[in-house]
């Protein structure tokens, strides 16, 4: 049996993709925001959490573009991220969400292979096509997300895309039963991608100004849901989309203002969970949490 890679190999592989000193190894370009979360009145029946009874709760949010380059074009067809920390009275809850319903890879082994295959060759400065082809033959699970990203333009706004946990979590309800679900944030403004004209004409950096202009009209709102799986939907493979369409409303996240850069030094942990929510046995979730726990923060410092 192959031993899954630990947190250091995963972070090393991300660094070799071009991480910049003092910046995050992934989602380096981003903006901080603040707001609050208002729980849905009936959410405690699905998830009996103090954090759902104590709301409204202040929230720290970081919106970001995937990749290690802090100057990456905001028109690139790449993941967008929304990392959220809800500040409860006695505990915090981090939601690490991305703009597609699936993750890059099913397992730490295939994710590490993906990162290593796409690292630049020292002689050419470009990834080796033969190495990428060999990787894709070994790990076809890593083909799904790139195909999805290539199928549409980049979001026109951080406020106009949905965000997903991609990983399953176990929510304990008032009846004591634990139910698996993925988190989804649906934008009240609707989903909109850049037009061909906008892709050509917009400057590489436009998202912060767009957010500023949008916030002049009032808070940006996202409906948070727990997405339930259909029979057969995997609980341990984030590279597979779920067919389950049932959503349980958890509450509303309101973004009220952009903020300073303090959130850039925060580590949003997908396993920083309040009592009543537990991590599933998804190996990719646990590997990401281990990598974020100490090595990522230490390197940024």
Q: What is the DSSP letter of 4?
A: P
Q: What is the 3-state secondary structure (H, E, C) of 173-188?
A: CCCCCEEEEEEEEEEC
Q: And the tokens for 175?
A: 């009846």
Query: How far lies 77's CA from each of 115, 144, 156, 290, in Å?
Result: 18, 14, 11, 28
| Sign of the CA dihedral with 153 first, then 157, 162, and 164 last | positive
Of the listed 16, 20, 27, 40, which one is catalytic?
27
In terms of DSSP H, where are the helices of 57-206?
108-117, 129-138, 144-150, 196-201
d(C-alpha 88, C-alpha 152), whole Å: 37
| Sign of the CA dihedral with 232 first, then 234, 239, and 245 last | positive
Other beta carbons within 10 angstroms of residue 255's beta carbon come to 24
User: Does the annotation mark 36 as catalytic?
Assistant: no
Distance of CA 139 to the CA centre of its chain: 22
Residue among 259, 254, 260 at smallest CA distance from 218: 254
> Where in the sequence numbering do the catalytic residues fall?
27
């Amino acid at each position: 049996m192959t031993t899954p890679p630990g947190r250091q190999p995963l972070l090393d592989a991300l660094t070799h993709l071009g991480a910049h000193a003092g910046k995050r190894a992934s989602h380096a370009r981003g903006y901080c925001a603040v707001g609050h979360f208002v729980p849905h009145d009936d959410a405690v029946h699905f998830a009996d959490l103090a954090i759902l009874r104590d709301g409204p709760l202040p929230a720290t949010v970081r919106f970001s573009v995937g990749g290690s380059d802090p100057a990456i074009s905001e028109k690139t067809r790449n993941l967008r991220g929304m990392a959220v920390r809800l500040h409860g009275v006695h505990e915090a809850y981090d939601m690490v969400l991305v703009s597609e319903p699936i993750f890059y890879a099913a397992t730490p082994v295939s994710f590490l292979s993906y990162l290593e295959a796409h690292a630049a060759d020292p002689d050419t400065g470009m990834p080796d096509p033969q190495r990428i082809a060999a990787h894709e033959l070994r790990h076809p699970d890593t083909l799904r997300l790139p195909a999805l990203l290539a199928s549409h333009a980049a979001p026109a706004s951080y406020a106009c895309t949905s965000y997903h946990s991609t990983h399953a979590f176990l929510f304990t309800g008032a009846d004591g039963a634990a139910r698996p679900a993925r988190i989804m944030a649906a934008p009240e403004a609707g989903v909109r991608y850049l037009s061909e004209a906008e892709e050509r004409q917009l400057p590489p950096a436009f998202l912060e100004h767009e957010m500023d202009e949008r916030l002049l009209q009032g808070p940006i709102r996202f409906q948070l849901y727990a997405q339930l799986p259909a029979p057969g939907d995997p609980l341990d493979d984030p590279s597979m989309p779920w067919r389950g369409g049932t959503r349980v409303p958890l509450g509303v996240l309101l973004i009220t203002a952009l903020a300073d850069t303090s959130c850039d030094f925060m580590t949003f942990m997908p396993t920083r969970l309040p009592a009543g929510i537990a991590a599933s046995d998804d190996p990719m979730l646990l590997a990401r949490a281990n990598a974020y726990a100490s090595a990522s923060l230490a390197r940024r410092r």
